[in-house]
Amino acid sequence: MIAAYLVTVILTFADGSYVEYNNGNWDVAKSYEECQSKIASAANELKEKYKDATDPKPSTFMLACIEKK
């Protein structure tokens, strides 16, 4: 069986709110390496989208490749 990974990218904000990349419709990668690549791309998109946000201010990224079984 070939492993698949859910690409999880969440950006939290200083007030405790958060956004999920692609509104929580997580992409599926066919390998761990592909998942890491998709994470980098998604995180960069969110960084760009929220780069000027100040209220609330972006805080922390939560990134994961979750093995899909």
39: number of Cβ within 10 Å: 21
Distances (CA, A) of 18 to 9, 56, 62: 10, 10, 10
- Output the six-digit token pair for 50: 């929220």
The β-bridge partners of 20 are: 10
Q: What pLDDT is stored for residue 21 in this prediction?
A: 95
Determine the longest span between alpha carbons in the chain, in angstroms: 46
Q: What is the pLDDT of residues 26-68, one digit of tens each?
A: 999 999 999 999 999 999 999 999 999 999 999 999 999 999 8
pTM: 0.86
